[in-house]
Structure 1
Amino acid sequence: MSELVDETRTGFERRYSYAPSGIWSAPGRVNLIGEHTDYNEGFVLPFAIDRRTFAALALRDDDIVRVSSAASDDVVEVRLADVTAGASSLAAVPADGRWAGYPLGVAWAFGQLGADLAGLPGFDVHFDSDVPIGAGLSSSAAIEGALAVALNEVWRLGFDGARLVDVCHRAENDFVGAPTGILDQSASLLSQEGAALFLDCRDGSSEPVDLRLEESELAILVIDTKVTHDHASGDYAARRASCEAAARELGVRALRDVTWPQLLEARDRLDGVTYRRARHIVTENQRVLDTVAALRADGPDAIGDLMFASHRSMRDDFEISTPELDLAVEIALNYGAIGARMTGGGFGGSVIALTPVAAITHVQVAIDGAFAEHGYTGPEMFLVWPSQGARRDR
């Protein structure tokens, strides 16, 4: 990590010809279980990973905002007053710079949530990261979280962790236009090292749940299928719309309020697709609760079946998996993993496999071979460990 901190500082100096005042970071995340339950006001169990996005930042003496990234040679430049006016400020930004909507949205969202941005200085910021983009590991929330903690400090805004989650969530939903829940931002900002984050997405309350991976001689293997996804696309929005339609038909505020017996009784009132979407949410919420209970009582060895049941539900009921994701889950389980599931919003991205340390190489070799046999792009595989949330690094 220290090397990436240095690279971020060097990148800032190369872009802007002076040194940043500080460097902040926020992690990507994997979701251990609880997919698409967040915007249904349900339960989720993510954890931050030891891959992070770093933001080197310095305030300016005018109201200009400049945003750059190690992934691009371009610098996006806008006035802070234009950013606070809303997403229309991105109209003049070239298409390959639209990623800047995530950090610019953070600045905008601070104003939307009560910060008086009038008269505050602009800033220069440069990002570098080892969170894979499009892999379902929430690279966008890592960008948002790193900048949110930086601006909260240098602008002296005094937002607590829960309000910073609101800032980042508002940026992604209302500025960028991706209809996600609060899972990603909460995990990136609030996670503790060594623990998952048990999050109630209705009231925003959370508590750590020790994962105890090392003492169980287990590890989380991420299998990035290289099938990219985009939360701002129509498929994600369609799943959310189906859930909202089911809630309206069932007369509840959100599917979090529906029990399994209630859903069975209402089956004839819902069309087949809407019923299956609702069935995933209702059963997935219960799987989150069961996973938390199993971790606390028996440790991570006890959650493998719950992980696969979650994947099966996402594959069959929510229909957000892909052949590559399904193959990675199947091979991982056949070659030693005790649990595996796709993680993230779906339509691509990554699988996580809860794997005995002694079996990791065996699983990796088998997955490489299976992907080659099917003619799929070779996946990237790496271990992740539960990490600390957003912070200042230097």
Structure 2
Amino acid sequence: MSIPDGWDAGELARAACLAARVRAGGDARIFAARAPGRVNLIGEHTDYSGLPVLPVAIDRSTIVVAAAVTAAEIELANADPRWSSRRFAIARQIPSYETGDWANYVKAAIQGVIDHFSARGIFTENLRGASMVVDGRVPPAAGLSSSAALTVSTAMAFMAVNELELDPIETATMVARSEWYVGTRAGGMDQAASILGRRDHALFIEFDPIRVRAVKMPANAALVVADSREIADKSGMVRAQYNRRVVECALAARILGRALELDGVTILGDVVRASPGWNAAELVEKLAAAAPARLGADLKEAASILGVSQPALDAELLGRGPTRIALDSSRPLEILKRARHVLGETERVIRAADVLEAGRLDEMGKLMNASHQSLADDFECSTERLDAIVECARRGGAFGARLTGAGFGGSIVALCDVASADSVIESIDRGYYAKLDPGAPSEKSEKSEKTKNFRAVLHAGAGASVIDLPTA
């Protein structure tokens, strides 16, 4: 058995345990798909605007083991007993479970494969069902993209069972909209990082179409990732906040495109690509001159500025059906601040790829710090907890630290010298976790042991892959 890069002994053992639970009839082959989570170094909330990001795939993974079954359905189990088993039929349009159900991400992945291959003439009646067992070790709701790790590993396992093949870029593009199925209008960073990850490298990822440049991580660089213990569940309460910002950015793009007399603008990336020699400050100034900083959530004023009908704009920005975005009508849409963050962040990402590759960690840290400040002030997706843990990391000697992922909770990433990693972790333990839940003196050693699960030095790892497992 040939083992692709990324699988370690522990993951192979996990796959073997899952294989014992898979119902493989007759001589059905058993496949194991491994997909890592990711930590984003810089480039937050830019991907759904079609603008670049700089993540790394991490050495934490989800594994899905699968084998074909005779019925046209998915039999689904999870190694974690907290997540109930599920069974659902393969259909052209798979209905979702209730909001928040873990298996919706599995359904999203299967639906994505069905949609993609139906366009190629491979329809549901041509697809085999599968018995699947999942083992996820990417911390959920922590901003490390456990959802993408699950959707990617599921899609790849289902394709393997059905002998369907795509190159990695095409697979990343196919899975990129998987979270739209669960109602989150996410971009494609998480899935691309999980599939295209490269050991000891960050990925400079551009979109529309996906393009990737591997950026070598300096040998003396360490990434400390720490969970704030504030849940950031994009399938739950955070979804409304996330989707609201997608709408705000899309609206800013349309207004800016009209002001610059550009055709076909729907996202800020369209504006950037149509504006050679652009810079963030000038584009923000153009936007400020074209519209108020805030617009009503009913989109009436926005429609008037754009010269379109309110119903048409509503349908374009909010969608229709069960995944339609619901806006809080009592809150205005922040147009200027959101665009200022996304455009400024794009400049930071482009610089960051160069300074990281050159080993200028101090400069990279300053860019990360500026990113966090912008996320807190202009994008308003940081929290008191995230700000506090970022400050602890910096006091401990990190070059820079910032929230990673969508924000509203979840994790932070700190860049430091390898020799300083322990000091950064100690500062976080003392200044954040100890104050978060101090406990009684007799509980200190137990709490200290639990704290170890919340922070770690993570390493840039390889992307997703599939292996055959022995059937006996």
TM-score (norm 2): 0.76
Pair 1:85-2:93 in alignment: yes
Pair 1:112-2:115 in alignment: yes
Q: Which residue of 2 is the match for residue 368 of structure 1?
A: 429
Match of 1:135 among 142, 148, 152: 142
Amino acid of the structure 2 residue aligned with 1:345: A
Pair 1:389-2:463 in alignment: yes
Q: Which moved more, 1:299-308 or 1:52-61?
A: 299-308
C-alpha separation in 1, matches of 2:77 and 2:170: 26
C-alpha separation in 2, matches of 1:133 and 1:298: 32
Listed as ranges, the gaps of 5+ residues in structure 2 are: 1-7, 258-264, 273-278, 295-333, 439-450
Q: Which residue of 1 is the match for residue 356 of structure 2?
A: 295
Note if contact 2:224-2:457 (Cα within 8 Å) is conserved in structure 1.
Answer: yes
- After superposition, residues 1-394 of structure 1 pair within 5 angstroms as 1-14=8-21, 16=23, 21-72=30-81, 74-81=84-91, 84-86=92-94, 88-90=95-97, 98-115=101-118, 116=122, 117-173=124-180, 175-212=181-218, 214=219, 217-232=220-235, 233-251=239-257, 252-256=265-269, 257-258=271-272, 259-260=279-280, 261-268=282-289, 269-272=291-294, 273-372=334-433, 374-375=435-436, 380-393=454-467, 394=469
- Offset, 1:20: 7.1
C-alpha spacing 1:222/1:158, structure 2 compared with 1 (3 Å): same
SS in 1 for 2:177: helix
Which is greater in Rg?
Answer: 2
Listed as ranges, the gaps of 5+ residues in structure 1 are: none
C-alpha separation in 2, matches of 1:149 and 1:113: 13
Q: Let me know the Cα RMSD of the aligned residues.
A: 2.2
Q: Which moved more, 1:38-47 or 1:261-270?
A: 261-270
C-alpha spacing 1:291/1:104, structure 2 compared with 1 (3 Å): same
SS in 1 for 2:133: strand
C-alpha spacing 1:296/1:359, structure 2 compared with 1 (3 Å): closer
SS in 2 for 1:196: strand
Identity %: 33
- Offset, 1:341: 0.7
> Which runs of structure 1 show a deviation greater than 6 angstroms over 4 or more consecutive aligned residues?
17-20
C-alpha separation in 2, matches of 1:264 and 1:3: 53
Amino acid of the structure 1 residue aligned with 2:37: G
Aligned residue pairs, count? 383
Q: Map Cα deviations across residues 340-389 of structure 1 (whole Å, 9 max, x no partner).
A: 11100110110001112222222222212222564458681111111110
Note if contact 2:365-2:415 (Cα within 8 Å) is conserved in structure 1.
Answer: yes
C-alpha separation in 2, matches of 1:42 and 1:270: 24
C-alpha separation in 2, matches of 1:99 and 1:136: 16
Q: Which moved more, 1:363-372 or 1:315-324?
A: 363-372
